[in-house]
Amino acid sequence: MFSKILIANRGEIALRVIRACKEMGILSVAVFSDADRDSLHARMADEALCIGPAPAAQSYLSMPNIISAARITGCEAVHPGYGFLAENAAFARAVGDSGLTFIGPSADAIERMGDKAVARQTMMAAGVPCVPGSVGTVDSSEEALVFAREVGFPVLIKAAAGGGGKGMRVAADERELHSNFTAAKTEAAAAFGSDQVYIEKYLARPRHVEMQVLADTHGHAVYLYERDCSVQRRHQKLIEEAPSPALTPELRAAMGEAAMKAVRAVDYVNAGTVEFLLDHDGRFYFMEMNTRVQVEHPVTEQVTGVDIIQEQLRIASGEPMKHVRQEDVRLNGHAIEFRINAEDPLHNFRPHPGTIDVFNPPGGFGVRVDSHMYSGYTVPPNYDSLLAKLIVWGETRGEAVARARRALDEFIIVGIPTTLPFHQYVVEEEHFQRGEVYTDFVERYATTEDVRAFVTGVPAAEKEAST
Ligand code: ADP
């Protein structure tokens, strides 16, 4: 096992990794930008080094600065967390070339899954069902039209290098396909440095269900079951739960097997997530694979008892993982995660950095809070808006929802608007309570007006009869 590692990240995920290190007797080195001098991750690690100014491009995204920090402090390995350089194959390679271990999959696996169009082709070849659409990228709107006619409108134009819910455009018909195609390419080039796009059928109200996988260097691979991440806003996740209210044991096993095919197809090692869309007929389709630990990994930890970060460290150090047979991984109860962001749910989730005067997280049985907040902390404007993750566990989904309601009521954050009121509204919402959540849940049942009516006690204007 490693004796010292560097964490190339900030925020709650940096703390999460530091905690795992402490439990395993591994020394941790934090890196921080000028904006994060007062951050908990810099205080909690055994050592901390400033790697540059506030803009991420000059600090958390600076490969030379991070690798130098690791070498200066005598680290053996680098944990990338999520975001920043976590899915950057060049970084994984540079870490390896400096004689350090990258705590994640091989650079080759990152590369093959990082291009979503290539990943689709790889999965098709491996016999994993993919969303109907183009086989690789498409170069012109005429070519796009051929595929769109084949699978039927509406279709989605997706950036091959896209991520984080960005780089997607729906086209309802031929006319929109033509006008959106060029726009999508221009957007993709600006956001991701590549204008490659591909076409997928736009599925009507699917669920987003993803499989957590683990594979080690001894040839063991298991899936830690699924997470349902259907509650999203602008294709970004807000609430995740495990298990999915929509999966039967048969469907779960089939999806798990499909995820194992994905793992084998790219010789995947370490923790990863295979994302699927599930339609109303119980058919599922591969969407993409994330080659890192996910924000929502705690719900899986709560229902399986597996510490995913510790497993990542074990696997990267060359040890076998703890649960090597599928039948050793058991599902117990139900867990739900709520992302508490520094965003105003009454104003279109506008990001709202600023000082937190009071931070008073909930506690008690079945409640976990992963957060880097404290009273008096100032949220810098430079990074993402995640403040805390509230994870609740219950023996049943109903118990978990009741516990969530209690814990959300206890959660006090004073100083800046957060998504807490949104979550308080959602746990009372009848479709959510019944587990009837699809990717359009927010626009249908949890609009700004709904949340405002809930917060102010003034009923929203009559909703259309169809909803
Ligand atoms: P990202 O890498 O940006 O997260 P994904 O490919 O994972 O992008 O898609 C994010 C979300 O976009 C999905 O969870 C889903 O809500 C929506 N989405 C993606 N592809 C489709 C599709 N073919 N049909 C309907 N919704 C889709």
> Which CATH number fits the domain that encloses residue 80?
3.40.50.20
- Which of 201, 217, 244 is the last residue before a domain boundary? 201
Q: Is residue 109 part of a domain?
A: no
Domain identity same for 215 and 356: yes
Flag whether pLDDT at 461 surpasses 80: no
Flag whether pLDDT at 465 surpasses 80: no
* Confidence at residue 464, expressed as pLDDT on a 0 to 100 scale: 52
Cα 395 to ligand 1 centroid, rounded to whole Å? 30
User: How far from the centroid of its chain's Cα atoms is residue 376's Cα?
Assistant: 28
Q: Is residue 231 part of a domain?
A: yes
- CA separation for the pair 166, 330 (Å, rounded): 35
Give residue 41's region: left, alpha or beta (phi > 0; psi -120 to 50): alpha
Average pLDDT, the chain: 96
439 CB near ligand 1 (under 6 Å):
yes
What domain count does the chain have? 3
Domain identity same for 222 and 349: yes
Binned at pLDDT 50, 70 and 90, residue 467 comes out as very low
Cα 80 to ligand 1 centroid, rounded to whole Å? 24
Q: Is residue 461 part of a domain?
A: no
Binned at pLDDT 50, 70 and 90, residue 463 comes out as low
* Confidence at residue 466, expressed as pLDDT on a 0 to 100 scale: 45
Q: Is residue 113 part of a domain?
A: no
- What is the arithmetic mean of pLDDT over 305-329? 97
Domain identity same for 197 and 252: no
Domain identity same for 97 and 212: no
Going by CA atoms, what residue is nearest to atom 15 of ligand 1? 235
What CATH number does the domain containing 339 carry? 3.30.470.20
- CA separation for the pair 371, 247 (Å, rounded): 30
Q: What is the pLDDT of residues 341-379, one digit of tens each?
A: 999 999 999 999 999 999 999 999 999 999 999 999 999
Q: Which atom of ligand 1 is nearest to the CA of 290?
A: 2
Domain identity same for 376 and 419: yes
Q: What is the pLDDT of residues 134-152, one digit of tens each?
A: 988 999 999 999 999 999 9
Cα 165 to ligand 1 centroid, rounded to whole Å? 7
Q: What is the pLDDT of residues 70-123, one digit of tens each?
A: 999 999 999 999 999 999 999 999 999 999 999 999 999 999 999 999 999 999
Flag whether pLDDT at 437 surpasses 70: yes
Range of the domain at 145: 132-201
Domain identity same for 72 and 189: no
Domain identity same for 305 and 157: no
162 CB near ligand 1 (under 6 Å):
yes
Q: Which atom of ligand 1 is nearest to the CA of 167?
A: 3
Q: What is the pLDDT of residues 251-269, one digit of tens each?
A: 999 999 999 999 999 999 9
Q: Is residue 122 part of a domain?
A: no
- Which of 150, 172, 201 is the last residue before a domain boundary? 201
Domain identity same for 164 and 88: no
- What is the arithmetic mean of pLDDT over 405-430? 98
Binned at pLDDT 50, 70 and 90, residue 462 comes out as low
Q: Which atom of ligand 1 is nearest to the CA of 232?
A: 16
For a ligand 1 pocket test, name from 120, 147, 155, 208 the mutation site with the most ligand atoms within 8 angstroms of its C-beta.
208
Domain identity same for 146 and 34: no
Q: Angle CA(269)–CA(196)–CA(145) in degrees, nearest 5?
A: 120
Domain identity same for 56 and 139: no
Cβ burial 53-82 (10 Å sphere, 16+ → b, else e): eeebeebbbbbebbbebbeebebbbbbbbb
259 CB near ligand 1 (under 6 Å):
no
pTM of structure: 0.96
- What is the arithmetic mean of pLDDT over 404-415? 98
Positions marked catalytic:
292
Domain identity same for 244 and 279: yes
Domain identity same for 156 and 276: no
154 CB near ligand 1 (under 6 Å):
no
Partners of residue 392 on adjacent β-strands: 336, 367
Q: Is residue 467 part of a domain?
A: no
Q: Which atom of ligand 1 is nearest to the CA of 204?
A: 25
60 CB near ligand 1 (under 6 Å):
no
**Tokens at residue 412, please?**
């006090």
Flag whether pLDDT at 435 surpasses 80: yes
